[in-house]
Structure 1
C-alpha cells in the first residue's frame, strides 16, 4: 500500500522534504499550544488544545499544498497552575515550557526555518509564551518568532458576544461552550453553569485587565466555570469558528506572501 503523507504535517515528512522546505526564503512553522485543564463539568480537559488544533487544521485546508508552511504536533499539556485545584488538570512548569520552546525553536532555526508561529489557545499562558518567544529570539536571532493568542484581535467577536461575555466570560463560558458544540458536540455535557462572574473586586482592579490579580479558579468557582454558559448553542459556535478561521487564514497568508523579516 502506498502511503501519501499529509503535506503540511511536519512529522509526516521525511528529512529531505524538511530540508527542502527550510531552504525557502519564506519557510515557516506553526506550533499550536493548548492545555489539559479543567473546563467545568461540561467541557473536556483538552478544550483549548482542541480549539487551536481544529482551527489551524481548517486554515491549512485553504492553502495550497506547496506553501512552505508546516505544522508541528500540537502541544497539548501547558501551563495551568490556576486550575490545579480541580482533578484532571496537568500543568507543566513555566521553566520547562520556556526551555522546550527554546530547544525546539533553536533546532528549527538551525535547519534553516525563517519563522516560527506559536499559536496559543490557552489564555493562562499568554505572557509565558511572549517571554519564551523573546528568549528564543535571543538564542536564535535569525528566526522571527510570533507568539499569538487564538482569540486576540479577531474582528467581529463583539457582534456575536456581549460585553459581559467578552470581559467576564473567562473560562468554559458562552463562547467556549458554543465553539465546542460546533467542533465536537459529542464531547459537551448537559450542564450549563453560571458561576464565578460576580466577584467583589476593589475599584479599579480586575481579574484580567490593566490592574489584574493572579487569581486561582477555586478562589471563586466551585464548578470551574467563570462566566455564563447557559446560552451556548451550535449556531453561535459555527459563527465563532468562521471568524477564527477567516482571521488566522488572512494573517498567516499575509505573512506567507511577505519576505519579512528579510535577513538575507
Structure 2
C-alpha cells in the first residue's frame, strides 16, 4: 500500500475520508492532538497563549519530520481546564468530566478508524494531571489504542537551562519563558507591560512546593494580583527563538524515535485486528 506523505497534508481535516482511512492503515499510524487553554496570561499576553504555542510548535515539529513517518494531527483543542484562573475575567474553563469525556469519545473514534497511537500534545500546565487521567481511561476502554499524554515544556532536553533561577522554578505563568516565546512567535500579540508578580515572599516548608514532587493546588489569586506568576522583565524575542529551537528539535527527536519503534508495549495489533474489539 502506498504511504501518504507530507507532500499532501499531515492535517487530518484536510484529507478526504478515503485518505484518512489509508493514513490510519499505515503501521504505527499516529495522531497528535494539541491542547491549549483559554485563560488570562497577565496584562501582556493573550488569553489563547497555551493553544497558540501548542498549535504553532506542533506545526514546526511535524514540518521537520521525515515524510514517510505515519503521523498526522488534529485541530487544536483551544478550551481547556483552567479553574485556577477563573477569578480573572475572560478566562474560560471546561468541567474536568467534560474534557475527559471529549478525549474518550474522539479517541474511540480514532481507534475505530484504525489509528494505533494518540499523542495528547498539551501546552497548559494546569491540565497535565487531568489529561493523564483521561489517557488512562481511554486506554482502559480501548486497549488497542496507545495513548501518550505529553506536556509541551517537558521532554526536550536543555529547555530549562535557558531560564535562570529563581525564574526557572518560580516563573509558573506568563513569566520570562512564555513572554519571550510569544515575542518570537507573535510579537503583535504582546503588550508593553512586563509585570513581576506572584513570587513567593518566603519559601515553602522543606520538601513542599507549588509544583513538583509534593505540590499544592494553588489558585492564581493566592499568589498574584496581575495574573502573572514570575518575572517577565528580561523577556526577549531572542530568548524566545532559542526556546523554540530546543522545543522543536527536542520534540522532533522524541516523535521520530517513537514512530520508528513499536512503543508502547501491548497496544498495537495486526492490521486485521485493528478497530473496536468485540468485547
The reply to whether TM is greater than 0.5 is yes
Higher alpha-carbon deviation: 213-222 or 73-82: 213-222
Out of 139, 142, 147, the residue aligned to residue 141 of structure 2 is 139
Q: Distance in 2 between matches of 1:6 and 1:186?
A: 31
Count of residues in Structure 1 that have an aligned counterpart in Structure 2: 261
Partner of 2:23: 21
Out of 129, 151, 154, the residue aligned to residue 152 of structure 1 is 154
Q: Distance in 2 between matches of 1:189 and 1:210?
A: 34
SS in 1 for 2:20: helix
Partner of 1:229: 232
**What is the CA deviation profile of residues 65-120 of structure 1, one whole-angstrom value per residue up to 9, with x for unaligned ones?**
44321100000000000000001100001000000000000110111100000010
Contact 2:11 2:74 in 1 (8 A): yes
Partner of 2:249: 246
Q: Distance in 1 between matches of 2:143 and 2:220?
A: 37
Q: Distance in 1 between matches of 2:235 and 2:155?
A: 22
Contact 2:23 2:70 in 1 (8 A): yes
Q: Distance in 2 between matches of 1:202 and 1:64?
A: 46
Residues 130-209 of structure 1 mapped to structure 2, 5 A cutoff: 130-200=132-202, 202-204=204-206, 205-209=208-212
The CA RMSD over aligned residues, in Å, is 1.6
Q: Distance in 1 between matches of 2:117 and 2:230?
A: 36
Normalising by structure 1, we get a TM-score of 0.95
Structure 1 runs of 4+ with >4 Å offset: none
Q: Distance in 2 between matches of 1:163 and 1:79?
A: 28
Partner of 1:57: 59
Q: Distance in 1 between matches of 2:62 and 2:160?
A: 26
Normalising by structure 2, we get a TM-score of 0.90
Structure 2 stretches lacking a partner, 5+ long: 1-6, 271-279
Higher alpha-carbon deviation: 252-261 or 237-246: 252-261
**What is the CA deviation profile of residues 113-167 of structure 1, one whole-angstrom value per residue up to 9, with x for unaligned ones?**
0000001000000000000000000111001000000001321123311131221
Contact 2:118 2:146 in 1 (8 A): yes
Contact 2:81 2:94 in 1 (8 A): yes
1:218 paired with 2:224, answer no
SS in 1 for 2:118: strand
Contact 1:171 1:227 in 2 (8 A): yes
Contact 2:42 2:228 in 1 (8 A): yes
Out of 241, 258, 261, the residue aligned to residue 258 of structure 1 is 261
SS in 1 for 2:33: strand
